[in-house]
Structure formats: structure tokens, C-alpha cells
Amino acid sequence: MCKVLIFGCIAAVILMTAAYGAPLEKPKLSPDEKQKRLEASIADLALLKHIDNNFIDFYTPDDKRECNHTTLACFLKELNVLKQDVEGEDMQHVINIEKNLEELKDPDFSNPTCKKCESNEKKKFAEFHQEMTSFLQSMQKEIV
């Protein structure tokens, strides 16, 4: 009888925690936090400019206005490709960029008119780097 009472209390606590406990959604970033993450990503990206990668092509989005979230997701996807080709300090910069930009992504965003990543033009790293830098800078201007 005592065991049933104890387990019942534990179950009640678990249910109350699930109902009123920690939020299930991650909190939205403030404009200042978004700005800091973008600045950090742009700084890390600048440190990757020296990479001379002419044997891998990257899908490079060029939609900048109404498809920001899709464009961001595409850049993040292509960073995974880059991550497999770099090491050491460069790897850490790519990881930093991913962490910062993941926080800015909107998982609920859906726009059927936005291009799929694979339908974007493939470009060498230098062009991909320039487009991504330009995109992040445009995102910074939108936050202000």
C-alpha cells in the first residue's frame, strides 16, 4: 500500500512538472542577441576566407528577402559539407558559425515559393563565402 502511495505521488509530481515545468519551446532571442550572433558568425566566416577549396561545389542560395529562413537553412546545410573538409582551427570556426546561426533559424518557417537548397546554383568556396557573408550582413541590417 505504501509503495502505491509513493509511486502515485511520484507520478503526480512528474505530470505536474511536465504540465508546468520547463518550457518546451526555446525562448526567442532579443534583437541584441541576434545581432551578437550574426556579428560573431561574420567574424568567424572572415577567418575562413583563406580556404582554397576548388574541388567541392556548394549549393549557394541567392534568395535574400522573403526566403531568409530557407536561405539560412541552406547555408547551414552546406556548412556541414565544409566541415567534412576542414580541420583544426577552421573546424572550430565552422562549428561556431553553426551554433550561432542555429539559434536564428525558425523551424516552423515554411514557404512553398522558396527554392529547395539543391535547386540553387553550385559555386566554389570563394563565391559561396562571399554570398554567405553578404547574406548575413543583410540579415544584420534587417534586425536594426
Domain span holding position 130: 27-143
Domain count, the chain: 1
CATH of the domain at 126: 1.20.1250.70
Q: Which burial class, exposed, middle or buried, applies to 90 when counting CB atoms under 10 A from its CB (0-12, 13-18, 19+)?
A: middle
| Amino acid code (one letter) for 23 | P
- CA gap 144, 142 in Å, rounded: 6
- 12-52 confidence digits (pLDDT tens): 767 766 666 655 566 678 889 999 999 999 999 999 999 88
Lowest mean pLDDT among 54-63, 76-85, 129-138: 54-63
Question: Is 76 among the domain residues?
Answer: yes
Question: Is 11 among the domain residues?
Answer: no
Q: Which residue has the cell 566554389?
A: 124
| pLDDT value, residue 142 | 83
